[in-house]
Amino acid sequence: MANTIQAIRGMNDLLPEQSPAWQQVEAVIRRVAASYGYSEIRMPVLESTQLFKRSIGEVTDIVEKEMYTFDDRNGESVTLRPEGTASCVRAGNQHGLLYNQIQRLWYMGPMFRYERPQKGRYRQFHQFGIETFGLESADVDAEVILLSARLWREFGLSDQVELQLNSLGSNEARANYRDALKAYLSDYESELDEDSKRRLESNPLRILDSKDEKTQKILEGAPSLSEYWDTESKEHFEQLTARLEAAGISYTLNERLVRGLDYYNRTVFEWVTTALGAQGTVCAGGRYDGLVEQLGGKATPAVGFAMGMERLVLLLQEQGKLTPRRVVDAYLMPLGDEAELNAPRIAEQLRNELPELRLVSHCGGGSMKKQMKKADKSGAQVALIIGADEIDQQQVTVKPLRTAEEQQTLGWQALIEYLQPMTRG
């Protein structure tokens, strides 16, 4: 007997009993994004490798270690997208959506990174992303943060997350700070952890994210990023924080927050939580004014964020914030040849009358006892029983499966009125 083929490590199945939780989360996301006037965009999961090397940066961990990259049959290097922003910018440039326009876009879908699978973090994972283009003022930075804050309120998680905020300044200011940080850390190179030693030449700002205690101790004496802010970036950040404070959004200034992608400038932010164990990021973003031009478009200001869906669903489940939703409302049981013949017609009529009703029509025949077991196992609220008598009298017998309510036989209009409330649940 052949061995059973298993899923690739870190590529997880989403089973039928799990999908209702995801559907609840996705429905809230879609509603909130629409309430801010954002439109959905869908990009392919496979892109040219150069897209991510030019946007993310060739000396980042994502490009060096984590991308799923291979040559296609034409010998061209392609990559399963590790993040959504670069793909969104590529699509915007390609289809003429960005130059001299204002766009508010959102997307949701799978991303791929080769890293060690762990709780809430997989090699195929899903992200919800918000991207805005064509606005350079701090009010749109505030808008995307307020949108993310509204999601936490909608999910009942506001008390489980903390907003951390920083500014990288202009690209020039960031470069100046990079040089100053590198000069400072070079004096302690022998004491740094191995990862930080490697990053000292290629990407010293990433050392600020080091989890090594000794390295963090060294960083206590490092130059402050805010000392290198240019005047415009400082004013931009002050305008952003003023708007957040006016809207009642609390935040913590974290000058070591730099984000792991090379394209960020000015505003960067993360929503973090300790509810999943050690502090972890569940949403992150910022401003990336140079990326559109870097990828071949005209200079266009932009800001956005991405939210990890697996960690969000896990957080909601662990906090008891997801209400299990029925998959089936009613189970139609035909008893006898005539009922089996008419069952598809009756089921379709019910779906015509009540499009939101989740109805399963029994298939395969069998005794009433067998069908009742199937109806109960389906999780339906009621069994709808039809036999020869019901067909003749144009009635349906309704048997509640989850309450002590008595069985009753109803005419068509009474049946519709009886089932109507189930479509709102």
For the stretch 322-368, pLDDT in tens is 877 778 999 999 999 999 999 999 999 999 999 999 999 999 999 99
**CB-CB contact of 330 with 374 (8 Å):** no
- Classify burial at 387, counting beta carbons within 10 Å of its beta carbon; exposed 0-12, middle 13-18, buried 19 or more: middle
Question: DSSP E strands: which ranges in 120-180?
Answer: 124-133, 162-167
Helix, strand, coil percent content, the chain, rounded in steps of 5: 45, 20, 35
Q: Looking at residue 31, what is its pLDDT?
A: 97
**CB-CB contact of 313 with 155 (8 Å):** no
**Alpha carbon distance 69, 56 (integer Å):** 14
Q: Looking at residue 112, what is its pLDDT?
A: 94
pTM given for the model: 0.86
Q: Quick: pLDDT tens for 64-93.
A: 778 889 999 999 999 999 999 999 999 999
Please state, in angstroms and as integers, the Cα–Cα distance from residue 72 to each residue in 69, 87, 296, following that order: 10, 19, 24
Q: Looking at residue 178, what is its pLDDT?
A: 83
pLDDT lower than 70: segments of the chain: 1, 58-61, 259-262, 278-279, 425
